[in-house]
A = this chain, B = another copy of it.
Amino acid sequence: MHLVQAGCRNTSRGYSMQNGLDRRLTSITKPKLKADAKPFAAFKHSEAERIRRMRINGQYATLRTILPNLIKMDKASVLAETIRRVRELKKAVEEVEAVCCTVVPGGEDGLSLEYSGGVEEDGQDSGAAGLVFIKVALSLEDRPGLMLELINAVKSVKGAGGVGLIRVVKAEMVTVGGRTKTLLWLQPMPPPASSGSSSGSGDYDGEGVLVMLRRTLRVVLVKK
């Protein structure tokens, strides 16, 4: 109950890094007597709390060195300035990204789809008439496992027979300031040659695939 007020106060308001780690009952061993158990536990507890405080205060010290033009140095002001700065920097990155890095113009959801009905790079026809190559560009806040999510989303686009309709040919990612710009090169897969001629599929619903793809990718975009 606050019977012991530790000697080291270090309240010089200098906001310097160093702290305790001072002279103290070092190398404590667990007491065998039951009477000593409680003071020992109390000491361990207060010591753990001291270490926790030191860790947090160390982060404050780091923030104080990182943030420019800090007027007030107290914790609340440091946190407030930190929040302001993070928002400012985030906005700056997004703005400058919008100006400098737009590869393919996308909609307001940051999702852009480009497709062609021609022949792909290696000159090999995919077999799906009217839709053989899709290029997807999207830009969003980075998160772990994003690429996996995107690929799974692409693979989840399936036709009537439960067979995948699109395969990922190439993928590129570039992250700047926590935002990720992703490029996907996709290739529609030919419908299963179950009936009719092998080169048929004249009724292949390329537009439908695109709609499904866009809807599926949008789920990934708005997630979290």
Contact = CB atoms under 8 A, between A and B. Distances in A.
Interface of A: 1-3, 52, 55-56, 59-60, 62-63, 66-69, 75-76, 79-80, 82-83, 85-93, 95-97, 99-100, 141-144, 176-178
30 contacts: A1-B1, A1-B2, A1-B3, A52-B76, A55-B76, A56-B76, A56-B79, A59-B80, A63-B79, A63-B86, A66-B86, A66-B87, A66-B90, A67-B86, A68-B141, A68-B143, A69-B143, A69-B144, A85-B86, A86-B86, A86-B89, A88-B177, A89-B90, A92-B93, A92-B177, A93-B93, A93-B96, A95-B176, A96-B96, A96-B97
Contact of A89 (B60, B63, B80, B178): B178
A149 B141 CA distance: 38
B63 A178 contact: no
Contacts of A1: 1-3
Chain A's interface: helix, strand, loop or mixed, by majority?
Answer: helix
Given A59-B83, A82-B86, A96-B100, 4 more contacts: A1-B1, A63-B83, A85-B86, A89-B178
